[in-house]
Amino acid sequence: MNEIPGLALGIVKNNQIIFEKYYGVEDLDSPKKVDKNSMFRIYSTTKLISNVAVFQLIENGKISLEDSISMYLENLPTEWQNVKIKNLLSHSSGIPDFIQYNDISTLGSNQKIIDRLAKEKMEFETGNEYRYNQTNYWLLAMIVEKITQQSFEDFILKNQFSDAQNQAILSSNSLEKIPNRVQKYNRYDDATKKYTRDLTDEGKRSVAANGLAITLPAFLKWSIHFSKNDFLKSETKRMMWKPFEYKNRTDFFGYGWEISRVNNIYSYGFSGGNVSAFKIFPDNDLTIIIMYNGNKSFPVQYQAINHIAGLIDPKLRDPYLFTEEAITSGNLIHSNAKKETYGYRIENGTIIFSYQLPGSLKTSEINSFSVAGSFNNWNPENQSYQMAAKKGNTFELALPESQFEKGKTYLFKFVMNKTGWLPTPNNVINTDGTPDNNLTLRID
């Protein structure tokens, strides 16, 4: 169905490895199976290791979150002078992202890249918003090298992987021949019926952002060290996990870490390349790591971690991710299902919006469920459109048909917990045909 060539999965509970399994092959052109020696490149999950490196320097008083990057880097554009280390970590710098410009060579010197980016305008006011950006971590790596007088790679390996010799390496060049490094596949080509290999070389500039390749045993060991405060003190980790205060007051992200909350239980982590993810639940002494090398239909890192966390403790399950997983996988399993009108029915002059939760999910796990659309300015918090729990794990809302204009097409979606806009199954007649795949309602 979603055919993943090779995968490694590990779980740590109370600083003990309780699950470590390997599946599939490293390379579709080789019979070599994934095992404890397989090194998966984890792409942007690398940023978590880079975050720890930066906070090690902060903890040791070498740098501060409030330091302007111009204290450590020379010949910066005027517009960059007041960008602070905290803005790099929180992706709030506004500095142009070098991956957007094809004329920047991967072999170019740091100064040449700075000079090229200086020709571009700032993307937004520094500190205003979150906008994911690889330039931020390139600059952080330069600062680490300036302070430590070591290469970024050496500082990482000596301070975080000293007991994992030959099990971790930093390289953003997919063409480089590295023993035991697993081949990543970017996508599945339906025309050729083959996976396409990742053959990109992103250069040294990208190492801090996406270059780590690591075995599962080494990553599990790193996780235990991290949890036991071997890398950072607990108060430093709390600082790192504190939400950054964006000026727009809407974005929600830590200092380099995604922050999630389910049932008032916090977790922290990140993912990379749609082939890896790391998530830690500090209050539950639980960490889940997944690494794989491609998929046929859709990435699974977040859904897999959510599913596993829910199996360990149902309170850790994110109902939105669970529902999204059920819909996405259902589209594959039931690809030939009969097309039908979805999301509402009309009975005796009443329009009844209806949504049945998938699988084992219960209405009691949901804080709020609503319908939002062109009829209420797409506002999921409109009290008149909150849906009530019914039997059969279903949410419903009944509205008079007279509230809707005849002959007019309305667009709508279902929303879980105010922010979880649910996708639409494929076997639906009433959609608008746009990339958003909105549901439609029309009364003739």
How would you write the pLDDT of the chain (444 residues) with one tens digit per residue?
568 999 999 999 999 999 999 999 999 999 999 999 999 999 999 999 999 999 999 999 999 999 999 999 999 999 999 999 999 999 999 999 999 999 998 888 999 999 999 999 999 999 999 999 999 999 999 999 999 999 999 999 999 999 998 999 999 999 999 999 999 999 888 889 889 999 999 999 999 999 999 999 999 999 999 999 999 999 999 999 999 999 999 999 999 999 999 989 999 999 999 999 999 999 999 999 999 999 988 888 999 999 999 999 999 999 999 998 888 887 777 667 788 999 999 999 999 999 999 878 889 999 999 999 999 999 999 999 999 999 989 999 999 999 999 999 999 999 999 989 999 998 899 999 999 999 999 998
CA 423, CA 415: separation in Å to the nearest integer?
A: 9
Q: Which of 3.40.50.300, 3.40.710.10, 1.10.287.3240, 3.30.470.20 is the CATH number of 1-317? A: 3.40.710.10
**Which ranges of 287-435 would DSSP assign to H, the alpha helix?**
301-312, 319-333
Packing angle, helices 152-160 and 135-148, rounded to 10: 80
The residue type at 235 = E
Other C-beta atoms lying within 10 Å of the C-beta of residue 379:
13
Q: Where in the chain is the domain with CATH 2.60.40.10?
A: 344-442
| Pairing outcome for strands 212-214 and 258-262 | unpaired
Look up residue 410 and give its two tokens: 């309305």
Helix or strand (DSSP H, E) at 12: strand 6-13
15 and 224 Cβ atoms separated by less than 8 Å: yes
Q: With 0-12 CB in 10 A as exposed, 13-18 as middle and 19+ as buried, what is 48?
A: buried
Q: Give the position of tokens 């994992």.
A: 164
Distance, CA of 388 to chain centre: 31
Q: With 0-12 CB in 10 A as exposed, 13-18 as middle and 19+ as buried, what is 355?
A: buried
Q: Where in the chain is the domain with CATH 3.40.710.10?
A: 1-317
Helix or strand (DSSP H, E) at 217: helix 216-227
Q: Which residues pair with 212 in a beta bridge?
A: 170
Look up residue 210 and give its two tokens: 């996406």
CATH 3.40.50.2300 is right for the domain spanning 344-442: no
Count of helix runs (H) and strand runs (E) in the chain: 10, 19
How big is the CA angle at 130 (ends 127 and 135), to the nearest 5 degrees? 85
89 and 246 Cβ atoms separated by less than 8 Å: no
